[in-house]
Amino acid sequence: NFSSLWGKQVKVNGTDEGTAIDFDEEGALVARQASGVRKHIFAGDVELLRSGL
């Protein structure tokens, strides 16, 4: 369920971090990095990061 990721900080494949913002027309997860760059993730491990620690 995407609503559990919406607006949350995620880490992809243990390296790239960003905020989950959308799915694109091809079904890839779109995450915005701190630099503003949007990454389209088609496959890989996505980890939900805990905030406020």
Q: What is the pLDDT of residue 44?
A: 85
Q: What is the pLDDT of residue 46?
A: 83
* pLDDT tens digit at each of 53 positions of the chain: 566 778 899 998 888 899 999 999 999 999 999 999 999 999 888 888 886 54
Q: What are phi and psi of 37, to 5 degrees?
A: -70, 135
Helix (H, G, I), strand (E, B) or coil at 41: strand
Domains of the chain by residue range = 2-48
pTM for the full predicted model = 0.78
Sorted by sequence, the CB contacts under 8 Å of residue 3 that are 6+ apart come out as: none
Tell me which architecture the domain covering 2-48 has in CATH: Roll (2.30)
Which residue, 52, 41, 53, is CA-closest to 11? 41
Q: What is the pLDDT of residue 24?
A: 92
